Amino acid sequence: MPRLSIWFIRSALTYLVLGFTLGALLLFNKGFPFYPFLWGLLPSHVEFVLFGWTVQLVMGMAFWILPRFSKSPFRGNEKLAWGTFILINVGIWLHVLGTIGSGSQWLVLTGRVAEALGIVVFAVYLWPRIKGVGAP
Ligand code: HEM
């Protein structure tokens, strides 16, 4: 497995643990209210399970498994895919910081822009690797 896939998938697993733990706390707090502040962490739960877990797991697998080129570098311009990894993770934490406590709409917006940019960069990076059997 390539190094970037390892980073994507280990990071995804970390967010899985964080996201499910927050989800469990939110659920418990719904049945037995013990800490009202927890509701403020609902956006973080959604961020962790959707962008942190799901999106990064898919990206890590896609980077590893989709068709490669016949000439080196076999996976194309890997710097673009590393850029996506950084943008997605920075985006997640900017969004989380922007929604905790009094929060900041600007942090939320910047986080979303970073995530959107990361997705566009990944699509541009991966596009040439979507090809038929036997293509160079
Ligand atoms: C990949 C898995 C998951 C995804 C994609 C997911 C996604 C979401 C989303 C989008 C919401 C917001 C719903 C809304 O605002 O109407 C939400 C809320 C919530 N999630 Fe999750 N979630 C996942 C796993 C879990 C798990 C494992 C738990 C508990 C153990 C959990 C507990 C909750 C709770 C308690 C809420 C608040 C529900 C409410 O508004 O009453 N989630 N989740």
Digit-coded pLDDT (tens) for 52-91? 999 999 999 999 999 999 999 999 999 999 999 999 999 9
Of the candidates 76, 70, 73, the residue with the CA atom closest to the CA atom of residue 124: 76
- Closest atom of ligand 1 to CA, residue 27: 35
Digit-coded pLDDT (tens) for 21-34? 999 999 999 999 99
Kindly report the protein residue whose alpha carbon is nearest to atom 21 of ligand 1. 23
- Closest atom of ligand 1 to CA, residue 26: 35
The DSSP H or E segment spanning 122 is helix 105-126
pLDDT at 91: 98
Confidence of residue 129 (pLDDT cuts 50, 70, 90): very high
Contact 80, 32 (CB under 8 A): no
pLDDT at 101: 85
Under 8 Å CB-to-CB from 67, ≥6 apart: which residues? Answer: 129, 130, 131, 135
Under 8 Å CB-to-CB from 52, ≥6 apart: which residues? Answer: 11, 12, 14, 15, 16, 18, 19, 92
